[in-house]
C-alpha cells in the first residue's frame, strides 16, 4: 500500500504524472487529462466549490464582487453576489472571480505548491480565477499572454483548442471579436476562426494545461 501524498501536478494529470508533464509539455504544449474530483486533496478544504448554490452562498457571506460579461454588451463590469446570481439564473452573463486564492486557504496552499513545482517565482505574476456561466455562454476565440491550468469542478465546458501559428509567447491578451477592429496593431493576422482545431469537453475532474 502506497500512502505517499501526490504532488499537485500528479493530481492535475494522473495519467501522465509530474515528470512526464515537465519534460514533454511544460511550458509550451497543451495537455488534457481526466480523473475523479476526489483526487484533489485541497478541494476538500473548499466545500463552497462543490455546487453553484454553495458558491453563491459563500459569495454573499464574504460580499465578494465578480467580473461580469453580459451577452448583450461588449464590456466587463463588476456585479455584487445578488446581481450575479440573478444574471446566472437567467443565463444572461458570464463571470470571473479573480485572485480566488486570497479567499480560500486550501486553494492557496495548492496554488503555492504548484508554482514551486514549476520553478516559478512565488511573488511573480500568477493567480487563480473561478469561471462560471450558463450553458450557451462563453468566450470568443482568444489567446492569453500567460499559461493556464483549468480544472472543471461542476457541469461541462466545451473548448476549441488551436495552435497559435502567427505569434509565439505573446505579451498581451487578444480576443478575436472584441479586439480585431479596435486593436489591429496587436495581432493583424488573427481575423477568422482557425481552420484546424481540436474540440474538448471538460467534465468534473477534467484538467487542461493551455500554454
- State pLDDT tens for residues 45-80: 999 999 999 999 999 999 999 999 887 666 789 999
What CA–CA distance (Å, rounded) separates 66 from 94? 10
The domains of the chain, with CATH numbers, are 8-210 (2.60.120.650)
pLDDT confidence of residue 1 = 42
Q: What is the mean pLDDT of residues 32-44?
A: 95
Residue 180: pLDDT above 70? no
Reported as a single tens digit per residue, the pLDDT across 81-90 is 999 999 999 8
Q: What is the mean pLDDT of residues 170-197?
A: 69
Q: What is the mean pLDDT of residues 129-133?
A: 92
For 5, other C-beta atoms within 10 Å of its C-beta total 7
What CA–CA distance (Å, rounded) separates 78 from 107? 23
pLDDT band at 167 (very low <50, low <70, confident <90, very high): confident
pLDDT confidence of residue 136 = 74
Q: Which residues make Cβ contacts (< 8 Å) with residue 54, sequence separation at least 6?
A: 47, 48
Amino acid at each position: 500500500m502506497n500512502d505517499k501524498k501526490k504532488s499537485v501536478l500528479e493530481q492535475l494529470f494522473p495519467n501522465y504524472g509530474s515528470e512526464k508533464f515537465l519534460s514533454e509539455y511544460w511550458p509550451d504544449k497543451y495537455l488534457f487529462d481526466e480523473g475523479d474530483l476526489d483526487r484533489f486533496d485541497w478541494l476538500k478544504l473548499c466545500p463552497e466549490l462543490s455546487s453553484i448554490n454553495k458558491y453563491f452562498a459563500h459569495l454573499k457571506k464574504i460580499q465578494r464582487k465578480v467580473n461580469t460579461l453580459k451577452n448583450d454588451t461588449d464590456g466587463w463590469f463588476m456585479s455584487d453576489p445578488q446581481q450575479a446570481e440573478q444574471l446566472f439564473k437567467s443565463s444572461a452573463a458570464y463571470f470571473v472571480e479573480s485572485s480566488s486564492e486570497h479567499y480560500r486557504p486550501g486553494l492557496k496552499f495548492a496554488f503555492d505548491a504548484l508554482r514551486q513545482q514549476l520553478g516559478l517565482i512565488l511573488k511573480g505574476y500568477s493567480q487563480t480565477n473561478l469561471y462560471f456561466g450558463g450553458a450557451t455562454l462563453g468566450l470568443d476565440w482568444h489567446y492569453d499572454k500567460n499559461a493556464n491550468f483549468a480544472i472543471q469542478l461542476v457541469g461541462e465546458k466545451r473548448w476549441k483548442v488551436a495552435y497559435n501559428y502567427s505569434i509565439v509567447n505573446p505579451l498581451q491578451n487578444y480576443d478575436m471579436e472584441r479586439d480585431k477592429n479596435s486593436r489591429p496593431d496587436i495581432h493583424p493576422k488573427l481575423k477568422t476562426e482557425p481552420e484546424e482545431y481540436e474540440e474538448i469537453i471538460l467534465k468534473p475532474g477534467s484538467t487542461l494545461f493551455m500554454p
